[in-house]
Amino acid sequence: MPIEWATISAVVLPFLKDYIRDRAKQLARQKLDDTFKNITTKDTLTKLNETFTDRFSKELDSAIDLPTLEAEPYQQALKAFLRNHAVQDLLQAPLDGQSPVDWKLLRGTWEEFYLPGGEQLIPLPEDFDWAKVAKL
């Protein structure tokens, strides 16, 4: 049941464009140098999200019992998850060359994330290893 970037990118890429614009405005207000702006290009964030999706999918496949029956709900959940500003901030933290991916915050965000309709994201399997996803 691999969740492929191609299947969720149509939803996430427009969000990334808006996220970059909002982040650039925020950085301009903070008067940070142009170095960070160059690091967080759309191509960089796209590749980062693609890599995260691949690693998330592989870990999910190893932890899930019935991948083909549950693929769609997880795919929809991942689309919503990646369209969250806090998640994008967490994913790009390592781009500074010093910070690791804070997998505990990613895990907590997944567990506490509410969709616009008020429902929570589908729970991940008990064996899902956020630390492994972050480490890879």
Q: Where are the domains of the chain?
A: 5-135
Q: Can you tell me the distance from the alpha carbon of 40 to that of 31, in angstroms, rounded to the nearest whole number? A: 16
Instruction: Give how far Cα 99 sits from Cα of 23, 89, 93, 94, Å.
Output: 18, 12, 6, 5
One-letter amino acid identity for 49?
Answer: N
- Return the structure tokens found at 79: 């689309």
Q: What is the pLDDT of residues 3-31, one digit of tens each?
A: 888 788 888 888 888 888 888 887 776 66
d(CA 48, CA 21): 17
Query: Cα 92 from chain centroid?
Result: 9
pTM for this predicted structure: 0.71
∠ CA 22-55-12, nearest 5°, is 30
pLDDT of residue 68: 59
Average pLDDT over residues 42-64: 90
Reference 67, options 57, 78, 54, 81; nearest CA is 57
Asked if residue 39 has pLDDT above 60, the reply is: no
Is the pLDDT at 109 greater than 60? The verdict is yes
Digit-coded pLDDT (tens) for 69-105: 677 889 999 999 999 999 998 998 888 788 888 999 9
Q: How far apart are CA 95 and CA 59, in angstroms?
A: 22
